[in-house]
Amino acid sequence: MDLSNENVIHIKKNGIQYLQFKKLLEYKDKITHAYSVGLDVDFTETLGEKRKNKALKDYKDLCNAIDLNINNLVKPTQTHTDRIKKVNHEINEVTFNSEEFYKIDGLVTDRTNVILATSNADCILLIFYDPIKNVIANTHSGWKGTLQRISIKTVEKMKKEYDCNPRDIICCICPSIRKCHFEVGYDVKKLFFEEFKDLNEIDEIIEETIPNEKWHIDTVLINKIILKQQGLKEENIIDSNICSVCHKDIIHSYRVEKEGFGRATAIICKKERK
């Protein structure tokens, strides 16, 4: 299966598969990035050693495929918060779920050779790049993160820490569950309606599928709208247009796999200037 489309390229290299955004490849002299396909990078502490060792190997294989050193990789714990952390020091040892990055769902940095990583299995992963300030960010936005508007809080963090202009920021939306499969009950529907009822597109965002019982919600569209409201240009919000459930044979999906589900990863790193 080839997931390539107008916005992403599906690459198969030495047995490793990953996606890259065409827009970010325009800056391949400054940054490197990838979204894994078919790998399982779940590094949860409660997993057995065999599963964790596989996650570490898959991360290493992905990093090697795009010429990065896994020892420079940092991944936050991801607990569906709205917290974004600045990485302002070198990463010299692969860092998973450390206390420093506990209960963090987004990372931002202007340092070179620091690999920012997030993981997902239906949730939205957002890769940010400001080519003017040369700043990168990587954010995990599940439905709870979307309710907390973590995407725009990432932009706010980039503005605060590095004086980024939202009009310069590129945001790439990785594969995730889409409206076609994100079906929820009344409690979750109510939360989304209360938070986003002022959006003109609310009737498109929330669609009733079973009267008074089930609704489909477009969390990707929500993020596109609120990022535009935050000042990003429409042409700089790049969607992979890939649903994790529709492509469950190759993209990890919690809703499909359930217990024992795997996770994919998005990584981005600034290169050293030569």
C-alpha–C-alpha distance, residues 81 and 96, integer Å:
17
- Report, as an integer, the average pLDDT of 94-107: 92
pLDDT value at position 136?
Answer: 98
Class of domain 8-176+233-270: alpha beta
135-141 and 106-109 strand pairing: antiparallel
The 10 Å Cβ neighbour count of residue 13 is 12
Among 174, 165, 170, 192, residue whose Cα is nearest residue 251? 174
- Report, as an integer, the average pLDDT of 36-47: 81
Confidence of residue 45 (pLDDT cuts 50, 70, 90): low
Is residue 187 predicted with pLDDT exceeding 70?
yes
C-alpha–C-alpha distance, residues 167 and 171, integer Å:
11
Confidence of residue 46 (pLDDT cuts 50, 70, 90): low
Phi and psi torsions of 93, nearest 5°: -145, 130
pLDDT value at position 274?
Answer: 57
106-109 and 95-96 strand pairing: unpaired
The 10 Å Cβ neighbour count of residue 257 is 14
pLDDT value at position 106?
Answer: 98
- Domain chopping of the chain, boundaries: 8-176+233-270
pLDDT value at position 37?
Answer: 97
Long-range (24+ apart) CB contacts under 8 A made by 157-162 are 157/84, 157/86, 157/106, 157/108, 158/108, 158/128, 158/130, 158/133, 161/86, 161/108, 161/135, 162/108, 162/110, 162/130, 162/133, 162/135
Is residue 43 predicted with pLDDT exceeding 90?
no
Which of the two residues, 12 and 97, has the higher pLDDT score? 12
3-state secondary structure of 24: helix
Among 57, 88, 61, residue whose Cα is nearest residue 74? 88
pLDDT value at position 257?
Answer: 95
pLDDT digits (tens, 9 = 90+) for 14-23: 899 999 999 9
3-state secondary structure of 124: strand
pLDDT value at position 18?
Answer: 98
pLDDT digits (tens, 9 = 90+) for 119-166: 999 999 999 999 999 999 999 999 999 999 999 999 999 999 999 999
Phi and psi torsions of 137, nearest 5°: -150, 155
The 10 Å Cβ neighbour count of residue 90 is 11
pLDDT digits (tens, 9 = 90+) for 214-240: 999 999 999 999 999 999 999 999 999
Confidence of residue 259 (pLDDT cuts 50, 70, 90): confident
Confidence of residue 11 (pLDDT cuts 50, 70, 90): very high
